[in-house]
Structure formats: structure tokens, C-alpha cells
Amino acid sequence: MENWALFPVILVGLFFIAVLVLAANLSVTKLVGIAAYFNLSSTFMGMTVVSLATSIPEITSHLTASFNILAGKLDFQIGSAIVLGSNIGSDVVQQTFILGLVVLLSGGLYFRRYFLWKSMVPMISSTVMCILLGLDGTYSRLDGFILFGSFVLYSLYLYFDERKFYKAEDNIPVSEEISDSIPTTRKQVLIDSGIAVLLMAVTVFAASNVLSITEIVVNRTNISGSLIGVITLGLASALPELTTALAGVRQKEYGISLGTLVGSNITNPLVGIGAGALISRYAVPRPLVLWDLPWETLTGLLLWVILLLKKGKLGKYEAFYLMMMYFVFIILRAVLFKADF
């Protein structure tokens, strides 16, 4: 495609983004069904299994980019900027626009006090960790180990806490689609696991093509890789979280909607950036530590303070505030930061 005109290249890129999102959504359904088979509560599923599954686009993009960087198939700086921008862009759109949309459609959401401390504080902390580790301009393999190790420890904490307070009635399917996909036998679990692995392989293939095409677009247009990642790939990567959260709203199972959105904002930086940095290291674009991550941190802090002051309740006014925050973020990002390095 190096010799193709720009417009057809972009169309092919959009096609592979659609394949990436569709394969990720289907694999999420299978993985959540398997989690339900093993009697994991809906809140725990939202915070861990579902958030990990819905982060497949971000994670596969990171792994694909890192292996391509090591193989010399992807420029170190451009590749790093694309996947890091996509990762943080996905987090910001979930934390602002998508959360606001879910609040509007549900008529209001209530965050329990324990959720504010056990979920939102780790979410904000993971973002702060990314800022501090990226101040020197790189995410080293040690940084990757710190990020990924933090996710493992946090997941273990949630698992033991879940087992302590688990109730059978908490294991509620999110939607009819997921309910129908819950395996009934060990054999079905193995079959569904195989299908999920195959779908994830498709996401890896699609992610590889998206990265290659994005690199072509960056080289031809001089638009920064992180900006493309934030605006386009970040939004596309957040679609699995959006569809899962909306499924929770339809079934009035708001715990998994909140758990998915907040949990994914923990999973994306800790697993995506952590695993990718462990493999190849990353060059950290200036806008990431000067704007993207600080904005995500500020939004998370303001949301946390509002929830504390309003005793865990979010209404339509807060929803509009969150959605407006996303558009302010994107507009100022495009105006203030035109170059990555």
C-alpha cells in the first residue's frame, strides 16, 4: 500500500478497525460467558474479566506494535506514539463521553462507597504512575514490569476480596446475548475458549494492519501519531467497553457497566503499556505526559470529588459535564500539541 493514494489507504484502515472492533466484541461475549460459568460476580467480572476482555483492542495493538518494533517493521517513535495515544485516548473517552452517555441513558447512576475507594482510587493511581514513569521520555522494561506487576497484585486483591463477600445472586448475566453464551459443560468451556483465542488472533492480524496503515498516514500527512491514536484509534478501541456498558444499562445491571468502564481504565495502562514496554520499551510522546495523562488524572479526580460530595450519585448535569470534558480535551489537544517529540 506504500504506492497507493491516501484515500484508499484510509478506507482499508477503517475496514481493519471495523474488523478489530467486531472480533473484540465477539471474543468479549465468549470470555464473559466463561467467567459466568465459574461463578464470578457481575461486579468482579466488570472490574477484571470484562475490563480485560474489552481491552483486547488496546492490548493486541500494544503487543503487535512491540513485536514489530523489535523486528524493525515499525518505527520506534511513531509506533510508540500511535499505541500510547490510542491507549490513553480510549481511557479518556470512556472516563468522560461514554460514562456520561451511560448516565444519561440510565437516568442516573449510583456508585457505592466501597467502589469509590477500591476502584476509582486505583484508576487514578494507575494514571499517575504512567505520568511519573514517563517523565524521562521512555517506558523502560523495568517500568513495564512495575505497571504489569501492579495489575497482577490488584487483581489478586480483588479476587480474594470477591471470594470473601461473594453471593450466588451476584452472578447475573449482563444481557440475553451473554446469558445465552454461558457454557453448560466443561467441553463447551473448551470450545468457547478456542473460539475466543481464534477471535483474538483475528484482532492481532487487524491490529497489525491498522498500525502499518496509520504509520503510512503519519508519514504522508505529518499529523502526529499520538493525535491519530487519541482521536480515531482511541475512540474505536473504546467501542467494546461502550457496547458492554450499554448492555448493562439495558438489563439494569449497572454494577458491570461501572466496573467495565472504571476497570478498563486500570487495565489499559497497566496491562497494555506494561506488557508492551516489557517487550520493546516505548518512546513517550511529550503530549502524553504534558496533556493526555494529566487530563485523564484531573478528570478522574474531579469525578471522584463530585461523587464523594454527592454521596455517590451522578445525574444528567454531571453527565453533560463529562461529555463536554471529552470535546474540550480533543479540541485543545489538536490545537496545542501538533508534534509528538
**Pairing relation of β-strands 313-314 and 138-139?**
unpaired
Domain around 135:
6-336
**Any domain includes 67:** yes
d(CA 95, CA 88): 10
Q: Write down the pLDDT at residue 287.
A: 92
What secondary structure does DSSP assign to 261-318, as a single string? HHHHHHHIIIIIIHHHHHHH-EEPPHHIIIIIHHHHHHHHHHHHHHHHHTTTEE-HHH
**Any domain includes 198:** yes
Q: Write down the pLDDT at residue 124.
A: 93
CA 124 to chain CA centroid, Å, is: 14
Give phi and psi for 158, each to the nearest 5: -65, -40
**Any domain includes 1:** no
**Any domain includes 201:** yes
The pLDDT profile of the chain, 341 residues, written as one tens digit per residue, is 667 788 888 888 889 888 877 877 777 677 777 777 776 665 566 666 667 777 777 888 899 999 999 999 899 999 999 999 989 988 888 888 888 888 888 777 777 776 677 788 889 999 999 999 999 999 999 999 999 999 999 888 877 776 665 554 444 554 555 556 678 888 888 988 888 888 878 877 887 788 778 878 877 877 777 888 787 777 776 776 676 666 666 656 555 666 677 788 888 899 999 999 999 999 999 999 999 999 999 988 988 888 888 887 888 888 898 899 999 998 999 888 877 87
> Grid coordinates representing 202?
483475528
**Any domain includes 58:** yes
Tens digits of residue pLDDT in 308-323: 888 878 888 888 988 9
Q: What residues have CB less than 8 Å from 188, skipping those under 6 apart? A: none
**Any domain includes 341:** no
Q: In whole angstroms, how far apart are CA 155 and each of 47, 105, 151, 161, 331?
A: 9, 30, 6, 10, 35
Q: How many domains does the chain have?
A: 1
CATH of the domain at 260: 1.20.1420.30
